[in-house]
Amino acid sequence: MRQVLVTGGGSGIGRGIAQHFAAAGDQVTITGRRMAALEETKGDSNMICRALDVTDEAAVKELFDQRFDVVIANAGAGASGKVKDLSLNDWNSVINVNLTGVFLTFREALQSMQGGGRLVAIASTASLQGGSTISAYSASKHGVLGLVRSLAIEVARSGITCNAVCPGFVETPMAEAAVEGVMAKFDVPRDKAAAMITGNNPMKRMIDVQEVVAAVAFLASEGASSVNGHALSVSGGEI
Ligand SMILES: NC(=O)c1ccc[n+]([C@@H]2O[C@H](COP(=O)([O-])OP(=O)(O)OC[C@H]3O[C@@H](n4cnc5c(N)ncnc54)[C@H](OP(=O)(O)O)[C@@H]3O)[C@@H](O)[C@H]2O)c1
């Protein structure tokens, strides 16, 4: 039975990933700051819930007291704002969660992996392109890709692979917050805001969580053992 860790497993993409691996018979551990959300993901399954903040170095170290075979660094936070309006605190908080959180998770995962393993980061299309008002988020996600590509080379002879999945807008609470932000900023109804959000996606729709789950499942599979340092775009051809 594989030991699988999913950070940010209490909602959205992380919940979908955790439930997929649990249904496949793996032993899944999920983390996040809100225990109630983790318990909701767990439901009747045998998942293990651990409440922790991915930016807390000591807590992340403690999490890896046990071995994990598959580690999905999914926890992340959205952020918007033009560079000229960003406070240092706003900047630091996005970089801390989205980039430093992945660094800490992968660094400790390496200590626990024996004879191989799978590291997958949930990055973003914002890892591959910039955008007005997403500078901190995009910088953090570009950073994740730099980390993934570099670590992939470091582990290439160890049986471990390290890859990133780069979704466009996915139907989750984070995207819902983005839709609400557009509604408020441009004073437009929900359908118009949703159309503005999905405008860059050639399919003109949001990505389904299960479409991201499928990409993660592939990268975590035995068949993906030579896929390393890859950024898998799940964006309907946006990029
Ligand atoms: N939805 C999209 O359109 C989209 C597109 C591309 C990439 N992504 C990426 O996909 C990942 C999952 O996002 P989502 O859409 O599923 O959003 P979500 O539902 O808001 O999930 C984010 C998860 O991260 C956890 N988290 C946030 N800050 C944390 C912290 N400091 N420590 C521990 N856990 C933390 C949250 O749990 P707690 O609040 O309980 O801590 C939550 O479960 C993120 O990395 C996001 O950037 C999302």
Q: Give the model confidence (pLDDT) of 141-200 as tens digits.
A: 999 999 999 999 999 999 999 999 999 999 999 999 999 999 999 999 999 999 999 999
**Which atom number of ligand 1 is nearest to the Cα of residue 171?**
1
Is 102:123 a contact under the CB 8 Å cutoff? no
Instruction: Report the percent of the chain where pLDDT is more than 70.
Output: 100
Return d(Cα 15, Cα 53) in angstroms, integer: 17
Which one from 64, 103, 137, 169 is the annotated catalytic residue? 137
Residue whose CA lies nearest to ligand 1 atom number 25: 8
Residue 130 has pLDDT above 90, yes or no: yes
The structural domains of the chain, with segments of one domain joined by +, span 3-169+207-234
- SS3 label, residue 190: helix
Residue-averaged pLDDT of the chain: 97
The topology (CATH level 3) of 3-169+207-234 is: Rossmann fold (3.40.50)
Report pLDDT digits (tens) over 83-115: 999 999 999 999 999 999 999 999 999 998 989
| Whether the CB of 143 sits within 6 Å of ligand 1 | no
Is 228:152 a contact under the CB 8 Å cutoff? yes
- SS3 label, residue 143: helix
Residue whose CA lies nearest to ligand 1 atom number 32: 53
| Whether the CB of 41 sits within 6 Å of ligand 1 | no
Q: What spacing in Å lies between the alpha carbon of 174 and ligand 1's midpoint?
A: 7
What's the chain's Rg over C-alpha atoms? 17
Residue 64 has pLDDT above 90, yes or no: yes
> Of 87, 79, 71, 85, which Cα lies nearest the Cα of 122?
71
